[in-house]
Amino acid sequence: MTNRPFIIGGGIVGAIILALGIILPMFIEKIPTGYVGLVYSPSGGVKDETLKEGWHVVGLFDKVIEYPTRLQTVSYHDMVLSTQDGKNINADISYSYKVDPTKVVSIFKEFGNISVTDIESGYLEKRMLAAARAAVSNYDLLGIYGADSSEAGLDIQKRYEEDVKRLGFMVSDVTLGAPKPDKNTQAAIDSRIKASQETEKKKIELENEKIEAEKKRVVAEGEAKKKLIEAEAEAKANNIVAQSITPELLQKIEAEARKQHGWVTVKTGEVIVDADKK
């Protein structure tokens, strides 16, 4: 009998603890790291003050929806896009985003009690598709497969970023994956690549022919200049020889020739022996 009050007291304390264990979680909400919480009531009221990371006490009938304030990565697969020249491609697009903590109330008022995951797969995906289609339609098929791919990705990011930032979604790092064409489109790509390669080959051949022709022209000009120089040198030498033959020199040559051959006739540049008068 003496222990009965203690038993009753212990039971009461245990019941209180149990009740607190059941009731307290209804009033306490934990906001994880990298998120912000918005408090609203089922009747439609929204509190302007958001909950930061950590533990918070909320009303019994209040609800909390969490929005990410650190970067989240989202990927959309096989988006159907059309190029400037009317070719369809499938492309994967990924991007990162976070929520502007000052605009979570606006987001809630726009979408209501919808999780961020549902917003990603609904509204945000539709806006991304619209931005991607508008951007890719400015480029032809080969451009999207080649040099214009990075530029198209930047174009998509700019359009998408401007579109969704008004609601509080801050976008970055949009990546346009390698396009995946259907069979007809792939055949068209192969055909255009082959034609481009043939054109490039012909350009190279023509350029080589021009180079070879230029080499021959330079060689011909060199030969012509060489012959001209030789001709000028020969003419100059002949002129010097002609100027060096004087009447006195001719008389001397004639006298020396007579001593050796008898009667001779000396003309300019040569000695003629007259056999009859030798």
Express each pLDDT in 144-166 by its tens digit: 888 888 899 999 999 999 999 98
Residue 206: pLDDT band (50, 70, 90) is: confident
Q: Which helix (H) or strand (E) holds 96?
A: strand 88-99
**Residue 220 sits in the same domain as residue 259:** no
Given this model, what pLDDT does residue 124 score? Answer: 95
Mean pLDDT value of segment 103-118:
88
Instruction: Tell me which residue of 56, 43, 45 sits closest to 105, measured CA to CA.
Output: 45
Q: Beta strands 63-68 and 88-99: pairing type?
A: unpaired
Radius of gyration of the chain (CA): 50
- In degrees, rounded to 5, the angle at the alpha carbon of residue 153 between the alpha carbons of residues 150 and 156 is 155
Predicted pLDDT of residue 120: 92
- The reply to whether 126 and 191 lie within a common domain is no
The whole-chain average pLDDT of the chain stands at 78
- Domain that includes residue 234, residue range: 185-242
Alpha-carbon distance 81 to 86, whole Å?
A: 10
- Residues 16-44, mean pLDDT to the nearest whole number: 67
Compute how many other C-beta atoms are within 10 angstroms of the C-beta atom of residue 273. 14
Instruction: Give CA–CA dist 42/61, Å, rounded.
Output: 8
Q: Domain boundary residue among 128, 157, 181? A: 181
Q: How many CA atoms lie within 13 A of 161 on its CB side?
A: 15
Whole-number pLDDT of residue 271 = 46
pLDDT at 249: 65
Residue 240 amino acid letter: I
* Claim to verify: residue 86 and residue 149 sit in the same structural domain: yes
Which alpha helices (H) appear in 102-182, and where do they start and end? 104-111, 116-119, 125-136, 141-145, 149-164
Both 125 and 148 in one domain: the answer is yes
- 220 and 166 assigned to the same domain: no
User: Is residue 103 a contact partner of residue 168, using CB atoms and an 8 Å limit?
Assistant: yes
Please give the tally of structural domains in the chain: 4
Q: Are residues 46 and 146 in the same domain?
A: no
Q: Which of residues 244 and 91 earns the better pLDDT score?
A: 91
Take residue 68 and report the two structure tokens written for it: 């990410």
Cα first-last separation, the chain? 185
17, 41: one domain: yes
Between 162 and 222, name the one with better pLDDT.
Answer: 162
Residue 11: predicted pLDDT: 57
Tokens (6 digits) for 121 = 């797969």
Measured from the Cβ of residue 174, the count of other Cβ atoms closer than 10 Å reads 23
Choose the final residue of a domain: 38, 68, 98: 68
Task: Spell out the residues 6+ positions from residue 160 whose beta carbon is closer than 8 angstroms to its own.
Answer: 95, 127, 128, 131, 132, 171, 174
Total-model pTM:
0.57
| 103 and 157 both lie in a single domain | yes
Confidence at 273, pLDDT banded by 50, 70, 90: very low
- Name the residue among 162, 166, 44 with its Cα closest to residue 112: 44
Q: Is residue 21 located within the same domain as residue 61?
A: yes
Give the C-alpha separation, 252 to 272, whole Å. Answer: 14
d(CA 254, CA 266): 6
